[in-house]
Amino acid sequence: IMAIVVPCYNEHEVIRDTNKKLMYLINKLINDTIINSNSYIYYVDDGSEDETWSIIKNICSNEKNIKGMKLSRNFGHQNALLAGLSKVDNKCDFVISIDADLQQDIEAIPKMINEYNLGSEIVFGIRNKRKGETIFKRFFSDAFNKIMKLSGSSIIKDHADFRLMGNKALNALLEHHEDNIFLRGLIPKLGFITSEVKFDQKERL
């Protein structure tokens, strides 16, 4: 069983299109017998101030493979993602986290599943160099990565929060109870077999 966790904050302009694309992928993977038919999407509304939650509720009422929850206020992306991961813990074989705007290419998901089947407990989505990215933006991104490494973090270059985690790795992650958790720095330190899948980042819808 696969779960896809999608943190959402003021995503009413894209969430229907996002759901359509993710459900198309899930149905294709089910038809190809790559994942179980009970696989699902779990949306986490991080205290949106627009119509995001009402759209998610409507989608949930019409699709058996859709679940969702609304946080009481905006807690931030990392906490919203962690809340979603905690809800799918032990209710799937592996979970994939992805941003609601789908700039992270969903076509990389079958490749992630293949790496999982080959023995990787964690599969990191690695962004290829972005088209149109300015020299300054790249400089500050590289500087951030270097600073994080100097501080002892195991942050992976060009990886955001697009990843696959098997249930063993997810259980280990949820044993940590830091207040200000930084998943990109913590997950590489969990000690499981990992691999990488590269993707081209798409333009935001």
* Single-letter residue type at 194: T
Would you give per-residue pLDDT tens digits along the chain (205 residues)? 999 999 999 999 999 999 999 999 999 999 999 999 999 999 999 999 999 999 999 999 999 999 999 999 999 999 999 999 999 999 999 999 999 999 999 999 999 999 999 999 999 999 997 655 556 555 555 554 555 454 555 689 899 899 999 999 999 999 988 777 889 999 999 999 999 999 999 887 7
Predicted TM-score (pTM) of the model is 0.89
Q: What are phi and psi of 121, to 5 degrees?
A: -90, -25
